[in-house]
Amino acid sequence: MAPARIIVLISGTGSTLAALIRAAQAPDSAFEIVGVLADGDAPGLAHARQAAIPTAVVPLRDHPTRADWDRALAAAIAELSGRALPDLVVLAGFMKLVGPAVLSAHPGRIINTHPALLPSFPGAHGVRDALAHGVKITGATVIEVDAGIDTGRILAQRAVEVHEGDTEETLHERIKVVEREMLVDVVSSLAAAPAPQPA
Ligand code: GRF
């Protein structure tokens, strides 16, 4: 079976993307990364360029409305993907909500990773909120993206203990270690699964 073709969206340092690139470079990988897209000049794009993966940048500020940006994002994903739409769109530290244009172009084929155990602590500050709440266990979650804020179907979760003296940075770094491994596992299993047959 040909490897599944995936597009990855990032906003930041891209350590999660780097883990996906390493996995995709393995000889028996069930997926290949055909493009990486960012919503600004994300440092993580360097990982894609080093691996000679095509990249694109679609900043929100370059578009008059959110809906225009969302349409431009959908067009950029299609362009990066070339001959056919991607089998999977992976949000790996993409810090913006995708809208109806992107969601309707890839129904059921967009996943996101979040650094907390959803449904607890959704949104942009999952690690900070968990720490502030004083939980002893937090972790990471991979969801199927829907139109809500981190409300999609849960595909996988892994727990991470909160240590005495943890800061947002120290806790987030430990969560990321688990998150990278889990996201690679989820992408690999979705990629290996036979494509759903049209009804
Ligand atoms: C991950 O923890 C992700 O859940 C969150 O941002 C982080 C991205 O890290 N939204 P990196 O940019 O891949 O290092």
pLDDT digits (tens, 9 = 90+) for 97-119: 999 999 999 999 999 999 999 99
Residue 196 has pLDDT above 70, yes or no: no
Atom of ligand 1 nearest to the CA of 17: 13
CA distances from 92 to 67, 121, 137 (A): 22, 18, 22
Compute φ and ψ for 18, nearest 5 degrees: -60, -40
- Which bin fits 152, alpha (ψ -120 to 50), beta or left (φ > 0)? beta
Higher pLDDT, 77 or 82: 77
Residue 4 and residue 64: Cα distance in Å, rounded? 34
Query: Is the pLDDT at 147 greater than 90, yes or no?
Result: yes
Q: Is pLDDT above 80 for 194? A: no
Q: Name the phi and psi angles at 179, rounded to 5.
A: -65, -45
End-to-end CA distance of the chain: 22
Element (H, E) at 158: strand 154-161
List, in order of start, the domains of the chain with CATH numbers. 4-192 (3.40.50.170)
Supply the mean pLDDT for the chain. 96
DSSP 58: -
* pLDDT the model gives residue 195: 61
Bridge-based pairing state of the strands 137-144 and 154-161: antiparallel
| Residues 84, 59: Cα–Cα separation, whole Å | 24
CA of 197 to the centre of ligand 1 (A): 33
Confidence class for position 199, pLDDT limits 50, 70, 90 = low
Mutation pick for ligand 1 pocket among 16, 114, 117, 155 (CB with most ligand atoms within 8 Å): 16
The answer on pLDDT for 160 being more than 60 is: yes
Which residues are tagged catalytic? 114
Give the model confidence (pLDDT) of 14-55 as tens digits.
Answer: 999 999 999 999 999 999 999 999 999 999 999 999 999 999
Position with higher pLDDT, 2 vs 59 = 59
The pTM of the full predicted model, rounded to 2 decimals, is 0.96
